[in-house]
A and B are shown apart, each in its own frame.
Chain A
């Protein structure tokens, strides 16, 4: 065993997370276990976004010497399924604890068939090492609800490995035999034999830098939904390996505003030629666009029918479909703010309202007939433009309970309900 690998083993940790969920219409604490890898002597630990996210209320890290230390969230990025936490260094110092940190390797240099190891805490079994090879070093995988309901995979491809990856491995490193971190294991196909996926270290390094700096990753949004051109070059009369097909343009997006349409083939962005022939080639293009500062004007040339045209579009800030969540303890209802992306996806008129994600039995919301999936658009005379509107009404109600009229939308049907003390 190389000294690098030994050192790596000492930098892998178990992460116990307790997170707050509101989807019962009450505060509920859920516990889960994941893995992580220490990146620096100042206690930064890289893990998955689906292990440690903003819902976490308590994070405990078990070091390789089995000592337990608290940690807090520095930032997360569900699009790449990465999160950064930091050890409580005061506690580490006070207790005189020691740990090692790992170094990144270059995932771009991996070859298919190369031996790799997954290190982590599958099912809570601390310090488990499994061995496999790189099965594919450029796997395309997107999931609109892949990270606790958040989107993932649009801006990166994945490493695929047959090293055994089980629940609890999440967030642990995928390493080469010299102990260099080339990936962060993230997911596996359930019921399949060793089809595991990891975020490549080239992506992880970039995200870590961003999270350390800002606590979040800001991306540009255009509203272009691409599709691989594969086999359609003849139909659109473009040379092979040229252009990216627009499958859909999201309503109200910068691309829609610029006049782009489904069926257009984008040839260049800012003079850079695009090649979106295969699905694997789409995330890097998406990432290139997303990496532009928000508000950048992009020069786009595209082919529509037989004509080549150009347009400039101004990017907006990328937002998730998942809005902020909150629970009203008085009414027994858990809600999530309607985001613009959610409103667009569900063809709502606008982003007014909160989505009911859970109701508690016997509480005013349930008694009045509210149910998961309802959208509360108005309370008494106030449109629910933000969670603050609801919080304010809720605290007024707590202080002096009185019948309250809610306007509720379910599918496309609007009804009225009264919450009573």
Chain B
């Protein structure tokens, strides 16, 4: 059969046009990507970190993936944020806005000076509601080289191999398709997703028998082959936190959720859905007030059964996200299975208790350790009453310092200083400051809790 000439011409035109377009598509779209540098300043060191981000609005708001900043570090210890336009070694100052609990993204705002060179990723969004990428679809994305190479941008191309619910819709491509936190586009230049960070570490736990295990694997931290599809990104880009701690944070207080696997579901005749076993119900939490009990199995939320995921473990993230999507004061109805009876419990979510990264802390140079406020999570970790938060925690112990030599260890719970009980952080701070100021002093004695035991430590100061 003869192919009509006009059809051939059209085909050729299509292919040629697309190929010719990519450089110009690239040139525009690279403007929605940046490198972000910040410094973690601890008592003992100053450590720079580089992450990649995507510009989401005209105010210069940038989102960084969750893993870009270690959650255990206090926001007070991260500083000197700088934004680099790809290819330009000169950075401009930026402001850290905090982390959004639902998406996990960190928000950073570029200074006005550089905003003119940035274009928000929304400019490349498909009109209307975004359609999900299809299997085998060709996609491309942007990678950024390191600081020594002036953050030079480069292109990555691949095809979609698989789309999974983890629990967010996540496309997995055949090869690396973008730097983590950087956008992915289709051949027409439409935004189709945002590359996930540390894909291997977070999601490649498909081993059914290896509960909670962390298999060692090679992970390319500079490029990612998985991306959240556009529908999991665009509706959330305006969730700029109100403060660096990301408060308000909705809190239920059901601790240690463990997925119900398929065999257990079948045993309990719940084949069509999934569930999560509650390991502990935290003291004073909304879950406790709602009547949730340890070992209950959560089967549904707000009348909807928990869907089945592959792997089973994803249901835990799904539940966490359901909670994080709320604000304190909202109510959630939990359908739970207790023994053989099923019941509905209404929980009024509360504000999450003060977190470790929000806790007050102070470094005592002469003794050689950082005392940190004892918060709710510390009591939970130590199987202790949360209604009575006393003492301080040794957050950091300087190597070879008097505290280290005396045997103080990070996470020790300092209950008494020189025989007097430590009531709270302020009184500990006052006492430790006085001890350090007294240059005649030869020793101080701590009583610390460690595991279920205690130890008396004599710290020699001279």
Q: Which residues of A contact B (CB under 8 A)?
A: 225, 227, 231-232, 235, 245, 247-251, 262-263, 305, 344-345, 347, 366-369, 371, 403, 405, 407, 409-410, 412-418, 420
Question: Can you identify 22 A-B contacts, CB atoms within 8 angstroms?
Answer: A225-B453, A231-B458, A235-B419, A247-B453, A247-B456, A248-B455, A262-B456, A263-B456, A345-B451, A345-B452, A347-B383, A371-B209, A371-B211, A412-B255, A412-B280, A413-B279, A414-B258, A414-B278, A414-B280, A414-B294, A415-B258, A418-B264
Residues of A within 8 A of B212 (CB): 410, 413
Q: Shortest Cβ distance from A216 into chain B, in angstroms?
A: 27
Residue contact A263 to B453, C-beta cutoff 8 Å: no
State in angstroms the CA–CA spacing of A225 and B452 once bound together: 12
State in angstroms the CA–CA spacing of A302 and B317 once bound together: 53
Residue contact A347 to B451, C-beta cutoff 8 Å: yes
Residue contact A416 to B443, C-beta cutoff 8 Å: no
Q: Shortest Cβ distance from B78 into chain A, in angstroms?
A: 29
Q: Given the known inter-chain contacts A263-B419, A263-B447, A345-B452, please indicate yes or no for A413 contacting B256, CB distance below 8 A.
A: yes
Residue contact B295 to A407, C-beta cutoff 8 Å: yes
Interface string of B430-462 (1 = CB under 8 A from A): 000000000000010101000111111010000
Beyond the given pairs A227-B455, A369-B210, A416-B258, 7 more chain A to chain B contacts, judged by CB atoms under 8 angstroms and listed by A's residue number, are A262-B456, A409-B279, A414-B277, A414-B278, A415-B259, A417-B261, A418-B267
Q: Shortest Cβ distance from B150 into chain A, in angstroms?
A: 46
A249 touches which of B418, B445, B454 (Cβ 8 Å): B454
Q: Nearest chain-B residue to A245 (Cβ)?
A: B456
Residues of B within 8 A of A231 (CB): 458
B336 on interface, CB distance cutoff 8 Å? no
Residue contact A263 to B416, C-beta cutoff 8 Å: yes
Q: Nearest chain-B residue to A348 (Cβ)?
A: B383
Q: Given the known inter-chain contacts A248-B453, A413-B258, A416-B260, please indicate yes or no for A235 contacting B211, CB distance below 8 A.
A: no
Residues of A within 8 A of B383 (CB): 347
Residue contact A416 to B264, C-beta cutoff 8 Å: yes
Residue contact A369 to B419, C-beta cutoff 8 Å: no
Which of A344, A367, A409, A412 has the most B CB atoms < 10 Å from its CB?
A: A412
B355 on interface, CB distance cutoff 8 Å? no
Q: Shortest Cβ distance from A34 into chain B, in angstroms?
A: 33
B264 touches which of A345, A347, A371, A417 (Cβ 8 Å): A417
Q: Shortest Cβ distance from A397 into chain B, in angstroms?
A: 14
B263 on interface, CB distance cutoff 8 Å? yes
Residue contact B209 to A415, C-beta cutoff 8 Å: no
Residues of B within 8 A of A366 (CB): 209
Tell me the chain B residues, 400-419 only, with Cβ under 8 Å from chain A: 416, 418-419
Residues of A within 8 A of B418 (CB): 235
Residues of B within 8 A of A347 (CB): 383, 451-452
Q: Nearest chain-A residue to B280 (Cβ)?
A: A412
Interface string of B284-309 (1 = CB under 8 A from A): 00000000001101000000000000
Residues of B within 8 A of A235 (CB): 418-419, 443, 445, 458
Q: Given the known inter-chain contacts A248-B453, A248-B455, A262-B447, please indicate yes or no for A412 contacting B279, CB distance below 8 A.
A: yes
B266 on interface, CB distance cutoff 8 Å? yes
Residue contact A405 to B264, C-beta cutoff 8 Å: yes
Residue contact B295 to A414, C-beta cutoff 8 Å: yes
State in angstroms the CA–CA spacing of A409 and B278 once bound together: 11
State in angstroms the CA–CA spacing of A275 and B212 once bound together: 49
Q: Shortest Cβ distance from B152 into chain A, in angstroms?
A: 45
Residue contact A369 to B208, C-beta cutoff 8 Å: yes
Q: Nearest chain-A residue to B339 (Cβ)?
A: A381
State in angstroms the CA–CA spacing of A403 and B267 once bound together: 7
State in angstroms the CA–CA spacing of A249 and B267 once bound together: 44
Residues of A within 8 A of B277 (CB): 414-416
State in angstroms the CA–CA spacing of A54 and B453 once bound together: 30
B454 touches which of A248, A412, A413, A416 (Cβ 8 Å): A248
Q: Given the known inter-chain contacts A232-B445, A415-B211, please indicate yes or no for A247 contacting B455, CB distance below 8 A.
A: yes
State in angstroms the CA–CA spacing of A235 and B419 once bound together: 9
B458 touches which of A232, A371, A407 (Cβ 8 Å): A232
Residue contact A368 to B419, C-beta cutoff 8 Å: no
Residue contact B454 to A262, C-beta cutoff 8 Å: yes
Residues of B within 8 A of A369 (CB): 208-211, 261
Which of A232, A248, A407 has the most B CB atoms < 10 Å from its CB?
A: A248
Q: Shortest Cβ distance from A415 into chain B, in angstroms?
A: 4
State in angstroms the CA–CA spacing of A384 and B260 once bound together: 21
Q: Shortest Cβ distance from A416 into chain B, in angstroms?
A: 4
Residues of B within 8 A of A414 (CB): 256, 258, 277-280, 294-295
Residues of B within 8 A of A420 (CB): 263
Residues of A within 8 A of B267 (CB): 403, 405, 418
State in angstroms the CA–CA spacing of A102 and B328 once bound together: 78
